[in-house]
Structure 1
Amino acid sequence: MTLNKIPVTIVTGFLGAGKTTLVNHVLSQCADAYIGIIVNEFGEVGIDGELIVADEQPLIEITNGCICCTVRKDLTAAVDKLIARAGRPIDRLIIETSGLADPAPVLQSFLADAELLERVELESVVAVADAHHVAQQISSNLVREQLAFSDVIVLNKTEMADADDLARLERDLRALNPAALCIRTEHGQVSVAEILGTKRFSLPHVLSIEPGLLDDEGHDHEHDDSIGSCSVEIDGALDPQLFNRWINQLVQHDGEQLMRTKGVLNLQGEPRQFHCHSVHMLLDARPGRRWRDDEARCSRMVFIGRGFAPDALRAGFLSCLAKC
């Protein structure tokens, strides 16, 4: 008897493109499916796992690093752990990689790991691109690889670009990856039928980009060492006015260096979590789910970028603590 393999969708894309928003929107359309989720976080403190609205779905975070560098060990172990934890058969698996992850080693794990191949099958790679920033980012080899290896390109945040810019972006994306399905969207709102359920992954396409992908010596991958992260976690409630003033001044003053910030916050007098995101100088903040009675109400933020001062970020965040 041949067991059905678990279909896998990999969601990739650069920092702040909208991967988590897309995953949440997909999950909201799959109430009847039991979906395992693996999230990779660049930083010591996990944020994305809390931002994903998984409800009863099994979820595992891989933090403090890049999934593409430890993929054979960490990713395989995470899949094993997720399947064991699920308690019943998983219908499918979604993996959200770090915005700094090279997709090639992730794909290599699913294509060259004999043990993993017995249980899972790669269905598609979905790359999320930020319509407001991707024109500047596409010169990066990492961003080009994320887009080139994908089967679906979700051009997100299209409300922030005019029609001519979008047409140029789509021409550039099709020139880079003519085989990919390209979808325009706002706020990651894509029909689940366009993302899940269709086998789009093509090994010949991937090997035409990276002929040595299946070689035992692995994929030659180097990080941009100029990009770093700073994580802060504090107990106690934050003063909403102090935090609002501080975060707005921060993104206006240091937005060029801070490529991405994200946080789950405990605001004084607020029974819900507060979610804060920024991509360079674009800031978004909104309430999340209610705090549970059995969880610690701490505030956590992750900052990713170049040339910032971690001590100053921590001090600024601490200065937002409520006085009473």
Structure 2
Amino acid sequence: MRMPQRTGGHDQTGENSVTADQAPDPVPATGATALPVAIVTGFLGSGKTTFVRGLLDAGGSGRTAVIVNELGELGIDGALLEGAARSVIELPGGCMCCESRGDVGRALALLAERASELDAVVVETSGVSDPLGVADLLAHGVFPADLRLSQVVTVVDAENFDRNLADADAAYSQIVSADLFVVGKSDLVAPDVVTAIGERLAVLNPHAAVLPSDGGRSAAGLLGEVAGVPAISARRQAVHTEPGYDSVAWETNREIGLDRLLAWVEALPPNIYRVKALVRQGRTDVAVHRVGARVTVLASAGARREPGDGRTRVVAIGRGIAAESMRAELDAMEPSDEETA
């Protein structure tokens, strides 16, 4: 399904990065022909950013804005999405409810002012947040008049489905909140596993459709479908969960050895559920991801950087993280002055 075109001018100057505190406060929603807002959620490492990138690439118009809510102080997912989206607004903190709602509202209000330039807005939540914090506010008309909630899309991790559902309240909340499921990492498991996951999802949430996903390649046309469906039921209630997750963020302007970082990532204990790193190697960025026991490396990640930005950034998410010890281990990877001389 093709995204309905909105009228108005279209600035050809390219992507823009802004911060949420630059946006005005939200105003009551009254618009009947409003810009659709799709919420993309899913547990840590499920493949949300890959899926969103697939949506953006498949859409092709460059008229989709993305709000990225990451757990941790460093915006890695936003860096990987820039260049594909019309605008990327990063909201650190990882929670989409309570005190963070104001930031989301101001970000949406900023995009509402540019509604004539856009076809859709995608809000990518953090892996441990309950999407109904935003969905409930949109459904009840709290956000700007030019915006409306279209659908909640939950990306589930085919490789870690049972573990996530057993260990995390947030994963369950994301499933029961969905209007549409995308089975992420379906190419990493057997077809019967994908079938079994679909059957389980149908029991947990029989009202949501299930679509497979293979790294975003099967997402062609999906953005239009997401934006074209009726809004989420206003009867749903947002539930604030306290998942108790820790995050550690670290960065350096010195180039560190990729092999050494990979050895460190692979040796992390099982209480570290998710690691995301954007590693500078010469003039190239390498993305490193760990989900559970699986570590993947993507060379030439294509992250957008400001001139002179050569940082390597690492974010780890889990429970009971010894933050100071972890930062000390990462600090030890930095080359000495003699090594860089």
Bin for the TM-score computed over the shorter chain: 0.7 to 0.9
Residues 124-183 of structure 1: CA deviation (Å, up to 9, x unaligned): 111000001112222343212211211110011122222332222111101111121111
Corresponding residue for residue 108 of structure 1:
136
Alpha-carbon distance, 1:194 to partner: 3.0
- Output the amino acid matched with 1:249: A
CA distance in 1: counterparts of 2:132 and 2:193, whole angstroms? 29
1:224 is the counterpart of 2:237: no
Code of the residue aligned with 2:156 in structure 1: it is A
Q: Extract unaligned runs of 5+ from structure 2.
A: 1-30
Asked if structure 2 preserves the Cα contact closer than 8 Å seen for 1:151 and 1:200, the reply is no
Specify which of 317, 321, 324 is matched with residue 334 of structure 2. Answer: 321
- The 8 Å contact of residues 37 and 93 in structure 1, kept in 2 or not, is answered as yes
Is the 1:157–1:188 contact (alpha carbons within 8 Å) kept by the matching residues of 2? no
- Point out the more displaced range, 10-19 or 291-300: 291-300
Q: Give the equivalent residue in structure 2 for 1:20.
A: 49
The Cα shift of 1:48 comes to 1.2
Q: Answer yes or no: is the 8 Å Cα contact 2:80–2:303 preserved in 1.
A: no
Aligned partners of 2:172, 2:187: CA distance in 1, in Å? 23
Match among 192, 199, 212 for residue 220 of structure 2: 192
In structure 2, the partner of 1:216 is none
Does the CA contact (< 8 Å) of 2:68 and 2:125 recur in 1? yes
Equivalent residues, number: 304
Taking structure 1 as reference, are residues 271 and 33 closer, same or farther at Cα in structure 2, changes over 3 Å only?
A: closer
Aligned pairs (5 A) from 1:1-324: 4-55=33-84, 57-84=86-113, 86=114, 89-116=117-144, 118-139=145-166, 140-198=168-226, 199-201=228-230, 203-204=232-233, 207=235, 210=236, 213=237, 219-225=238-244, 227-250=245-268, 254=269, 256-267=270-281, 270-287=282-299, 288-289=301-302, 294-322=307-335, 323-324=339-340
More contact order relative to length (CA 8 Å, sep ≥ 6)? 2
Aligned-residue Cα RMSD (Å) equals 2.2
CA 264–83 in structure 1, closer or farther in 2 if over 3 Å, else same: farther
2:241 maps to a residue whose letter is E
For the residues of structure 1 that align with 2:118 and 2:265, how far apart are their CA atoms? 40
Q: Distance in 1 between matches of 2:324 and 2:82?
A: 32
- Please tell me whether the aligned partners of residues 285 and 302 of structure 2 are also in contact (alpha carbons under 8 angstroms): yes
Contact 2:80 2:302 in 1 (8 A): no
TM-score by length of 1: 0.86
Query: The residue matched to 2:53 in structure 1 has which SS?
Result: helix
Instruction: Tell me how far 1:235 sits from its aligned partner.
Output: 1.4
Of stretches 288-297 and 55-64 in structure 1, the one that deviates more from structure 2 is 288-297
Matched residues in 2 for 1:144 and 1:79: separation? Answer: 26
Contact 2:132 2:239 in 1 (8 A): no
The separation in 1 between residues aligned to 2:49 and 2:197, in whole angstroms, is 22
Residues 84-127 of structure 1, C-alpha deviations (whole Å, 9 max, x = no match): 4x5952111011001111112111110123452x2112111110
2:334 is paired with a residue whose SS is coil
Distance 1:136 1:290, change over 3 A: closer
DSSP 3-state at the match of 1:67:
coil
Task: Output the CA distance in 2 between the equivalents of 1:3 and 1:220.
Answer: 28
Contact in 2 for aligned 1:26/1:190 (Cα 8 Å) = no
* TM-score, length basis structure 2: 0.82
What amino acid is the match of 1:257?
Answer: N
The amino acid that maps onto 2:286 is F
Deviations 1:241-292 (A, max 9, x none): 3223322333xxx1x111111011112xx31111111102111112212775
Structure 2 vs 1, CA of residues 15 and 221 (structure 1 numbering), >3 Å: closer, same or farther?
Answer: same
**What percentage of aligned pairs have identical amino acids?**
26
Task: Look up the equivalent residue of 2:290 and give its one-letter code.
Answer: S
Structure 1, unpaired ranges of 5+: 214-218
Describe the shift of the 1:309–1:201 C-alpha distance in structure 2 as closer, same or farther (beyond 3 A). Answer: farther
